[in-house]
Amino acid sequence: MKHRGRHRRRRRGQALRATLAGTALALTAAATLISTSQATGSNSPGALTPLTSAAETSRLQLHENLVAGDTLSTLSRNMGGNVGVSGVLASADHTMRDEADCSGTERAALPLEPVATRAYCWASDDARSRQWAPASVTTSG
């Protein structure tokens, strides 16, 4: 008899711990909702503060983090290999037109500085489609 009572108390302890854990989870969720509802947003975040010191602007510059060449090779290999722009355009399931075939509006949207050396435009049907949103193809070179 003594043995059965100990197991019964253990089960009661497990049930109590489960109840307390559930209560703690519910209280955490409630506190999160309350704190979120109290965080008031505004459409006007206020005026921008200009950065005037070199210390402030130096944090905003790009910094190079060198990575081992074999790491970059592994990344390139795992992503399917290095592919040029012509390879990307050739494998696209939507066709593109050369700059000469682009409309005047599309050519007017090209950047002025630096001048684009090559440009492509999406097929007219794709550019007007609501089912497929054409994006851009860009290169760092």
pLDDT for the residue numbered 70: 92
pLDDT for the residue numbered 37: 57
pLDDT above 70: residue 140: no
pLDDT for the residue numbered 141: 45
pLDDT for the residue numbered 73: 87
Give the pLDDT mean for 108-117.
84
CA-CA distance, 102 to 123, in Å (whole number)? 9
pLDDT above 70: residue 43: no
pTM of the model: 0.32
pLDDT for the residue numbered 51: 81
- Mean residue pLDDT of the chain comes to 76
pLDDT above 50: residue 105: yes
pLDDT top residue among 58 and 3: 58
CA-CA distance, 87 to 70, in Å (whole number)? 24
Torsion, CA 118, CA 123, CA 129, CA 134, rounded to 10 = -30
pLDDT for the residue numbered 12: 65
Domain boundaries, the chain: 1-33, 83-135
Give residue-wise pLDDT tens across range 45-95. 677 788 888 888 888 887 788 889 899 889 888 888 887 777 777 777 777
pLDDT for the residue numbered 7: 58
CA 27 and chain centroid, separation: 31
